Amino acid sequence: MPAEILLPIAVAFLWAEYLRRRKYKPPKGDIVSINLFGIPVIFVYSDEIVRELFEKRGALYSDRYPSSMAWLSGLKWNIGLIHYGDWWRRHARAFHQCFNSRAVLSYEGIKTKESRQLLRNLLESPDDFSEHLKFSVGRIIMDVVYAIDIKEEGGSFMNSVHTAIEGFGFTLVPGLWLVDVFPIFKHIPDWIPGIPFKKFVKKYKKPTEDTANVPFDIVKRLRRLENPLPNEEVVIKNVAGTAYIAGASTTYASGLQAILASVLYPETQKKLHDELDEVLGDRLPTLADRKNLPYVDAFLCEVMRWRPSVPFGVPRGLPENDPVNQVLLLLNRHILRDKKYGPNPEDFNPERFFEPGVRHPTEHFGFGRRTCPGRFFADNTLFLFVASIFKVFNIVPKKDENGNDIPISGRYAESFLPVPDPFQCSFKPRSPSAKELIIVDYTSDSLSL
């Protein structure tokens, strides 16, 4: 895809923000096309049209645009950014083998162990809930992918990875970086001062590359693929790195949004408590319980609809050799506010998923051949975390020195991977028996890092 098509993408993020301020109502129709410098940029708001383009015509609409900033930042190994073709298919095949809907069930033991560890961490130091959640998600992925058990929260490797995730969220914002609009700028010498993207690359490139390289270099092994492919080691390393940086960032963001929603909408928390108590009695949840917990499932669906962890799809385009230069941008956040999900789309209302015809918000995970390959892994991880937390904790606003609730803005930073602005809340065990459930000892035979 010619580099000049990047210029129209510079308006994409601002356009999406404009729509957000207009309560997500497009000016006309389900597709808006803006012609800039002779190049069409197409914004898609309808999941029916998206499915037509990206599922029925997936062979044509599955490519990515060549982001100079992503390459400069060390993200060339990320599956989500690889051009559509044979090299991408090798990665997709490997990822699917390890993270399909059946394969992820074999990781339940690891996830259950870590969900119990998360509960203990929240009991012992509840003010650090955000860091505990981030650490727990990372530990699961490290254990599943590399059989490495990271013991220390806040260790050097984990800090490096979360620095990479922070950078990842801003690297992919369309139009944020001048070097994506004018790729020739990537040749500006490093010694020229005051170049923002150069400073960004200096901070984030090494942590981003380390995310894929460090654990792989330590282990030098991963589950063997059937019918090994050429360059198998490179594929495995890229798959593992993508699993971490994508899975950790999105699952962590959704977990934080779930906690935020429960505090802003306390009536939903009461319903979670009631259903979990009725179904589980005096035990903690397993994945097998999900089919008997419809409100918990609806709550998770609403978290993904209300605040999707990837609100703007990565811009797509036609194959590199196609003469038609066009960019397609999915506004997932708008699609998830379609009238089919009921009225008041800005409100958090899990009951909307009990209405006939309202399906799981799969748009949260993307469309077609570029659908998130880790969606099953992320979905059941989030279920175990959320169901476990609300089985034993009541989450309420934190009090100030005068006994008043500390306000929670509910705002979030606009980035490719948004998370809520920092907020304070209290995790209170719901009863002595709930506290007792938390205090369980687990051990691990995994390799330590």
Instruction: Please name the amino acid found at residue 38.
Output: G
Helix H, strand E, coil C: the string for the chain is CCHHHHHHHCCHHHHHHHHHHCCCCCCCCCEEEEEECCEEEEEECCHHHHHHHHHHCCCCCCEECCCHHHHHCCCCCCHHHCCCCHHHHHHHHHHHHHHCCCHHHHHHHHHHHHHHHHHHHHHHCHHHHHHHHHHHHHHHHHHHHHCEECCCCCCHHHHHHHHHHHHHHHHCCCCCCHHHHCHHHHHCCCCCCCCHHHHHHHHHHHHHHHHHHHHHHHHCCCCCCCCCCCCHHHHHHHHHHHHHHHHHHHHHHHHHHHHHHHHHCHHHHHHHHHHHHHHHCCCCCCHHHHHHCHHHHHHHHHHHHHCCCCCCCCCEECCCCCCCCCEEEECHHHHCCCHHHCCCCCCCCHHHHHCCCCCCCHHHHCCHHHCCCCHHHHHHHHHHHHHHHHHHEEEEECECCCCCECCCCCCECCCCCCCECCCCEEEEECCHHHHHHHCCCCCCCCEEC
Confirm whether residue 372 is marked as ligand binding.
Answer: yes
Annotated binding residues for heme: 372
